[in-house]
Amino acid sequence: MENFELREWTLGQILDHAVANWPDNEAVVYVDRDYRQTYREFGKVVDDLARGLMALGVKHGEKVAVWSTNVPYWVALQFATAKIGAVLLTVNTNYRKSELQYLLTQSECENLFIMDGYRDHDYLQTIYDLMPELKNQPRGNLNLNGFPHLRRVMFLGVEKHRGMYSVPEIISLGVMVSDQEYAERQRMLSPGDVVNMQYTSGTTGFPKGVMLTHVGIGLNGYWIGRNQNFTHKDRLCLPVPLFHCFGCVLGVLAAVNHGATLVILENFNPVHVMASVDQENCTALYGVPTMFLAVLEHKLFEKFDFSSLRTGIMAGSVCPEPLMRRVIENMNMTEVTICYGLTEGSPVMTQTLPTDSFERRTRTVGKAMPGIEVQVVDPDTGEELPHGSQGEVVCRGYNVMKGYYNMPEATQKAVDADGWLHSGDLGIMDEHGYVTITGRIKDMIIRGGENIYPREIEEFLYGMEGVQDVQVVGVPSRRYGEEVGAFIIAKEGADLAPEDVRDYCRGQIAWYKVPRHIAFVEEYPMTASGKIQKFKLREMCAELFPDVR
């Protein structure tokens, strides 16, 4: 902390610094597309796209949602929106119609970029179902029923679709914006401005829009890369989704801060990961534990060369020590690190270092990042606890979100009067500052790195005919860490089967939220005061679902 200097840069300044210092270094690579851009080339695409958005009328502070996998223009859009003071609103690629509708309306979003679809989900058809009048209205000034703030829908690619602008069309409009106008827009910006919004939620209520600033995610990205000893010579294989902080902060901003190369995969595929590392001589690799496991256990693992790897990050859910050992020993990632945090913290508050002992790098989540205070406090009183005591992990610093969009009460619950962000996680800090996460106060389920919030699924299932009550908990899973389990009390006379519940969910909520384990019960275990004891429901899982861990 004593060597920490608060570098207050906007994301545009971070990119301009990389372009000025490493213009000929590769910035973005897609192996399967043979798509390569140097920092000079990438910077020009960003500027052209930014000018085009200005020409369309995108103003300072407007939200620009992006619903897409990791396609090439995604990262350019991240910086183009930042350069003109817009707010990039990242959308989970697994969202379905109702979830997208909620996000667009709650955020009062003015602009939306989409791709054609993902897996079995046709994004274009979903948009036309939600906004049928889109096909018949002027593209630049929409007036849509149910979406009073939405003005523009754009396609994140070269194809043309009714009611939407394509990227080449947007870029071509950039000639309408002068150098002076573009420079003036950038001079208006402050590092404390909101630049990114991501939707997350607690155990109650619906998803909340986390407002993150330039300095929050920009400086967090700098230190994440610094703690991996990133330089312009590093090449990062990035197979994690860009809509998560893991992708767009730990990945993109860690690399760009240090002029490193991003070798991006549109979706995770273990063979594509191995081929990218081998062909591009990647020095770093990111992933959640299940991704690393899929690579290590793939039948073609021995066919690829991992000798170029040095570092990387395993995060997103609990990192098992045996898996960390295999990654270090079999994938040559001798300097692999673990990060811990939450979206509201931009997101990383602690990280292990390559110089830490093996035990600390596998059994802890490291120490506080420079410029960030981390404490373990009594969940009830907020008082800091002695070393070795279990309590709630909290942090304070430049990284703490500005708040939840249009949710002041929820913001006050998450960030106290003294500026401490409450994680909802239980942990222990030793006398050297290393933190070990021991559990969660919240009921949040983490399935292979995806955060799932029981209340959201419960609210949805309450709408199913024949369901009287439902409680959702995390069920242990060897493969994913946790799976979704639903305990349902059916209405009298209702004839429900587990497959009926899954059929009701499919296509309506994200596939990973659909309960895998379903039990019909007559009552729930409760306290004397009538509070449902979810921990007892979790204990019942081993008996009711014999195939779980």
For 205-230, the pLDDT digits (tens) are 578 999 999 999 999 999 999 999 99
165, part of any domain: yes
317, part of any domain: no
pLDDT given for residue 534 in this prediction: 83
311, part of any domain: no
287, part of any domain: no
**Which residue type is seen at 375?**
Q
For 184-213, the pLDDT digits (tens) are 999 999 999 999 999 985 434 578 999 999
Q: Per the structure block, which two tokens stand in for 177?
A: 């914006």
Pair (501, 392) in one structural domain: no
For 303-357, the pLDDT digits (tens) are 999 999 999 999 876 677 888 999 999 999 999 999 999 999 999 999 999 999 9
Q: How far, in Å, CA of 38 to CA of 18, rounded? A: 10
Beta strands in 68-167, from DSSP E residues, in sequence order:
87-90, 111-114, 117-118, 121-122, 152-155, 165-166
pLDDT given for residue 529 in this prediction: 40
Per-residue pLDDT averaged across 418-446, rounded? 89
pLDDT given for residue 321 in this prediction: 81
What phi and psi values does residue 260 have, to the nearest 5 degrees? Answer: -80, 165
Q: Give 302's contacts (C-beta < 8 A, 6+ positions apart).
A: none
Instruction: State the DSSP string of 502-545.
Output: HHHHBTTB-GGGS-SEEEE-S---B-TTS-B-HHHHHHHHHHH-
**Strand partners of residue 375:** 394
For 232-245, the pLDDT digits (tens) are 999 999 999 999 99
- What average pLDDT is seen over the chain? 93
Pair (84, 228) in one structural domain: yes
**Strand partners of residue 391:** 427
- Res. 546: pLDDT tops 90: no
Sheet holding 35-38, edge to edge: 35-38, 26-30, 261-264, 235-238, 284-287, 311-314, 337-341, 348-351, 367-368
Pair (476, 352) in one structural domain: no
Q: Domain end: 440, 460, 489, which one? A: 440
CB 314, CB 265: distance < 8 Å: no
Pair (184, 252) in one structural domain: yes
How many domains would you assign to the chain? 3
57, part of any domain: yes
Per-residue pLDDT averaged across 43-51, rounded? 98
Give how far Cα 313 sits from Cα of 55, 269, 324, 361, Å: 39, 17, 10, 11
Q: Give 543's contacts (C-beta < 8 A, 6+ positions apart).
A: none
297, part of any domain: no
Pair (113, 239) in one structural domain: yes
285, part of any domain: no
Q: Domain end: 219, 248, 267, which one? A: 267
Give the domain range for residue 392: 337-440
Q: How far, in Å, CA of 155 to CA of 367, rounded? A: 42
| Reduced 3-state DSSP string for 143-199 | CECCECCCCEEEECCCCCCCCCEEHHHHHHHHHHCCHHHHHHHHHCCCCCCEEEEEE
Q: Domain end: 209, 240, 267, which one? A: 267
Pair (157, 77) in one structural domain: yes
Q: Token pair 């990383």 is at which residue?
A: 348
CB 345, CB 374: distance < 8 Å: no
Query: The domain that contains 98 carries what CATH number?
Result: 3.40.50.12780
Pair (206, 259) in one structural domain: yes
303, part of any domain: no
- Res. 362: pLDDT tops 90: no
For 86-131, the pLDDT digits (tens) are 999 999 998 999 999 999 999 999 999 999 999 899 999 999 999 9
Q: How confident is the model at residue 541 (pLDDT cuts 50, 70, 90)?
A: confident
CB 67, CB 93: distance < 8 Å: yes
What percentage of residues in the chain have a pLDDT greater than 90? 80
Pair (214, 70) in one structural domain: yes
Pair (242, 193) in one structural domain: yes
Pair (227, 261) in one structural domain: yes
Sheet holding 421-429, edge to edge: 372-377, 390-397, 421-429, 435-440
pLDDT given for residue 6 in this prediction: 87
What phi and psi values does residue 391 have, to the nearest 5 degrees? Answer: -165, -170
Instruction: State the DSSP string of 303-345.
Output: GS--TT--EEEE-SS---HHHHHHHHHHS--TT-EEEEE-GGG
Determine if the peptide bond prior to 408 is cis (ω within 30°): no
pLDDT given for residue 396 in this prediction: 98
Pair (474, 386) in one structural domain: no
